[in-house]
Amino acid sequence: MSKLLWNETLPDDPNHFSTIDLYLINMPDTGLHQRFHNILQETELQVANAYMQEHRHHLSVASRTALRLLLSLYINEHPAEIILQKNEFQKPLLSDAYELNFNVSHTNEQILIGFSRLGPIGVDMEFTQSNIDWPMIAKRYFSPAENEKINNATVPQHAFYQLWTAKEAFMKGVGSGFQFPLHHFFINYQDQEHGKVISTIPLYPPDWMTRNFDLSDDCVGAIASPTDLNQLRCFHFNTNSINKIAALWHLP
């Protein structure tokens, strides 16, 4: 499975309509969990404060801060003034008037954010060395064809996480998360990283595709959308990029 090439600078044309943009953030390198509390809404801070573990609190603050900073680049509004709505499943989204879709995933100390003007989008990332009982999950929730793919893989655990991230990216992309029944769809892989979603529930828009990629030796990611997933632009959202957006809005 391929690794993506990540640019170290922000896109020159964030409103480019024919690509999907992915941003990867390494939280400890950026100070996002400490620096921009003033751009978050009270409800966002309440969600973060509800986490008892300090690490999860920091990750919640950092992910929402990164999202607001990047959204400001795409819709040209001050990060603190962006109004985020939620659908019936509590998925954050913008008003349809912006014609911009986004999705966020985070695990351990990394955050992945995807943006698309081509249609809905879902992203997911997972570390492959967790202690979950993945064979049980696969046997219970995955289709026979998916279990066969896992069992025939050189590294079955990696194949499980490849499928898991693709499935979760799709469920997040359609906006329902785990309210979309796992046993009502499966991923039909066309090669090592590209899959087509086969669902017994009618989808709108239809023809959802998934794409997997390796983020590191022990972290896999996936994106799902009813669009061409080969048109990706990938960026590291690093300190220099953050400082550029902060300067644009006169943030400290």
Calculate the CA 215 to chain-centre distance: 12
What are 81-133's pLDDT values in tens digits? 999 998 888 889 999 999 999 999 998 889 999 999 999 999 999 999 878 89
Most confident segment among 27-31, 49-53, 82-86:
82-86
User: Residue 189's pLDDT is what?
Assistant: 94
pTM summary value: 0.95
Alpha-carbon distance 70 to 46, whole Å? 21
Cβ neighbours of residue 130 closer than 8 Å, sequence gap 6 or more: none
Domains in the chain with CATH codes? 20-248 (3.90.470.20)
The residues that bridge with 197 in the sheet, in sequence order, are: 187
Using the Cα atoms of residue 90, residue 21, residue 168 and residue 196 in order, give the sign of their dihedral.
positive
Strand order through the sheet with 110-116: 101-107, 110-116, 20-26, 232-236
d(CA 173, CA 190): 20
Region 40-57 average pLDDT: 87
Q: What is the pLDDT of residue 131?
A: 83
How far separated are the first and last CA of the chain, in Å rounded? Answer: 40
| CA distance linking residue 171 with residue 221, whole number of Å | 14
Specify the pLDDT at position 150: 96
Q: Contact 222/162 with Cβ under 8 angstroms? A: yes
User: Mean pLDDT over all residues of the chain?
Assistant: 92
Give the per-residue pLDDT at 48: 86
Instruction: List, as one string, the DSSP characters of 39-108.
Output: GS-HHHHHHHHT-SSHHHHHHHHHHHHHHHHHHHHHH-S-GGGPPPEE-TT--EE--GGG--EEEEEEET
Supply the angle between the helices 144-152 and 134-141 in degrees, to the nearest 10. Answer: 150
> Tens digit of pLDDT for each residue in 158-203?
999 999 999 999 999 998 888 898 989 999 999 999 999 999 999 9
